């Protein structure tokens, strides 16, 4: 019997590369598709000589014809700094990219999973956020290209499901961190760790009282795989994230303490439309997938510090 062939778009990115690694370990044929906008060959360098691994340089906004059994649609810059660099392209990645991948899934009858996001809830009035919450998103703000792009992608996924019977899955990922985040990526965990290791100022945006709930990458990948492999009558959307909510100030202090850094905290303006509170309600994932995070923030941050320490010494 032929091995399952799995396409991972955004496969050279932070989450995508961990996913490719896991899928290869299961013995699947893995097609990693990426245009290297925020991804890096370094993330998948160790996979290039594996016989079941194939790398395709391609932009998902353009059509592509492949024969696959499953698609993980992860292509899209995830850091606010990067997705705001070229906002029109960000919307295109989410809308045209999703249409192309859904068109592909429809043609070859592949199962397709969308990496959606907690950002579809915007700056939420409901706390913690449940899948039934419709969100509060500014349609014309600096984050809209990402938030509305991801919302439209969900719409497309559900309409391809209803109209064309495409076998879909949708996961809503809450802030996830870990090794292979890009040092200059701009996201808070990588920024703080790199600043702490360099004894540079730790840049808190706003007063630092805004909250996030941080999920370690291994937990997230486990959840994504359970969702893809779960029953066809549970298509989501399902929240995947850690429920331990911390303020950005607490995160900064934790990272300073864990790195033994001399860094000082400095306060910078809060970006426009930065959500004030964010924490997933994961009761649906627990009930339907038997999934819950297992890695504590301390243990995950420890591993992430070790990764960046190694990167810093290699420079
Ligand atoms: P990332 O930026 O490291 O990875 C995204 C990958 O997509 C990169 O390798 C990039 O080069 C690639 N890409 C971007 N545009 C592309 C295009 N047009 N064609 C092909 N490839 C393209 O980010 P990540 O954290 O790994 O996020 C992966 C996915 O998960 C994204 O869809 C993101 O929206 C979603 N997500 C991530 C988080 C998180 O906290 N990490 C949270 C919510 C959702
Ligand atoms: N597409 C693709 N690969 C495929 C099949 C489709 O990239 O294997 C793209 C193609 O660009 C198409 C889009 O997916 O425009 C949507 O496909 P669909 O069949 O839904 O619509 P249509 O072909 O009618 O535009
Ligand atoms: N943040 C910060 N300093 C940084 C980077 C981010 O204080 O150097 C804040 C940011 O304003 C936000 C939170 O940390 O409130 C999480 O930011 P990130 O970009 O990681 O993700 P998102 O805002 O998309 O959740």
Q: Name every residue whose Cβ is closer than 8 Å to that of residue 114 and which is 6 or more positions away in sequence.
A: 73, 98, 153, 154, 157, 168, 169, 170, 171
CA 187 to centroid of ligand 3, rounded, Å: 6
159 alpha carbon, closest ligand: 2
Q: Per-residue pLDDT for 1 more than 80? A: no
For 62, phi and psi rounded to 5 degrees?
-105, 145
The number of CA neighbours under 13 Å toward the Cβ of 97 is 32
pTM over 0.95: yes
Residue with CA closest to ligand 3 atom 18: 187
Q: State pLDDT tens for residues 279-302.
A: 999 999 999 999 999 999 999 999
CA 56 to centroid of ligand 2, rounded, Å: 19
Q: Could you give the CA distance from residue 143 to residue 78 in angstroms, rounded to a whole number?
A: 11
User: Alpha helices, DSSP H only, in the chain?
Assistant: 14-25, 41-44, 80-83, 87-108, 144-164, 188-197, 217-229, 248-259, 283-289, 297-314
Q: State pLDDT tens for residues 108-131.
A: 999 999 999 999 999 999 999 999
CA 80 to centroid of ligand 3, rounded, Å: 8
- pLDDT confidence band for 314 (50 / 70 / 90): confident
267 Cβ below 6 A of ligand 3: no
Q: Are the beta carbons of 239 and 129 closer than 8 angstroms?
A: yes
Active site residue 146: yes
Q: State pLDDT tens for residues 23-37.
A: 999 999 999 999 999
Amino acid 143: pLDDT:
96
Amino acid 88: pLDDT:
98
CA 260 to centroid of ligand 1, rounded, Å: 31
Closest ligand 2 atom to residue 160 Cα is 20
DSSP 280: B
Residue of 149, 150, 212, 278 best suited for mutating to test ligand 3, as the one with most atoms within 8 Å of CB: 212
Other CB atoms within 10 A of residue 86 CB: 14
10 alpha carbon, closest ligand: 1
The per-residue pLDDT of the chain, averaged, comes to 97
Q: State pLDDT tens for residues 246-283.
A: 999 999 999 999 999 999 999 999 999 999 999 999 99
176 Cβ below 6 A of ligand 1: yes
Choosing from 82, 146, 160, 182, which is the catalytic residue?
146
* 3-state DSSP percent of the chain in helix, strand and coil, to 5: 40, 20, 40
Q: Are the beta carbons of 143 and 119 closer than 8 angstroms?
A: yes
Q: State pLDDT tens for residues 67-76.
A: 999 999 999 9
Q: Per-residue pLDDT for 102 more than 80? A: yes
Angle CA 134–137–143, to nearest 5: 140
Q: State pLDDT tens for residues 190-247.
A: 999 999 999 999 999 999 999 999 999 999 999 999 999 999 999 999 999 999 999 9
Residue of 20, 22, 42, 74 best suited for mutating to test ligand 1, as the one with most atoms within 8 Å of CB: 74
Closest residue by Cα to residue 90 from 149, 139, 9: 149
């Amino acid at each position: 019997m032929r091995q399952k062939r799995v396409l991972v778009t955004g496969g050279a990115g932070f989450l995508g590369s961990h996913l490719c690694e896991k899928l290869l370990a299961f013995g699947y044929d893995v097609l990693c598709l990426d245009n290297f906008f925020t991804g890096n060959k370094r993330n998948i360098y160790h996979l290039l000589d594996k016989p079941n691994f194939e790398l395709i340089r391609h932009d998902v906004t353009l059509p592509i014809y492949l024969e696959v059994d499953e698609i993980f649609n992860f292509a899209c810059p995830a850091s606010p700094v990067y997705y705001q660099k070229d906002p029109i392209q960000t919307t295109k990645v989410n809308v045209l990219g999703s249409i192309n991948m859904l068109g592909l899934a429809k043609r070859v009858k592949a199962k397709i999973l969308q990496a959606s996001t907690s950002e579809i809830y915007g700056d939420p009035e409901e706390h913690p956020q449940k899948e039934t919450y419709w969100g509060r998103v500014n349609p014309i703000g600096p984050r809209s290209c990402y938030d509305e792009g991801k919302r439209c992608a969900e719409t497309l996924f559900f309409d391809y499901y209803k109209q064309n019977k495409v076998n879909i899955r949708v996961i809503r990922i809450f802030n996830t961190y870990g090794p292979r985040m890009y040092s200059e990526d701009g996201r808070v965990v990588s920024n703080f760790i790199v600043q702490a290791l360099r004894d540079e100022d730790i840049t808190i945006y706003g007063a630092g009282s805004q909250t996030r709930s941080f999920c370690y990458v291994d937990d997230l990948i486990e959840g994504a795989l359970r969702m893809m492999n779960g029953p066809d009558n549970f298509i989501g959307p399902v929240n995947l994230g850690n429920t331990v909510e911390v303020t950005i100030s607490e995160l900064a202090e934790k990272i300073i303490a864990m790195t033994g850094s001399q860094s000082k905290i400095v306060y910078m303006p809060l970006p426009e439309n930065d959500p004030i509170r964010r924490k997933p309600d994961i009761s649906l994932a627990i009930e339907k997938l038997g999934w819950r995070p297992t890695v504590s923030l301390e243990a995950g941050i420890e591993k992430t510090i070790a990764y960046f320490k190694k990167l810093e010494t290699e420079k």
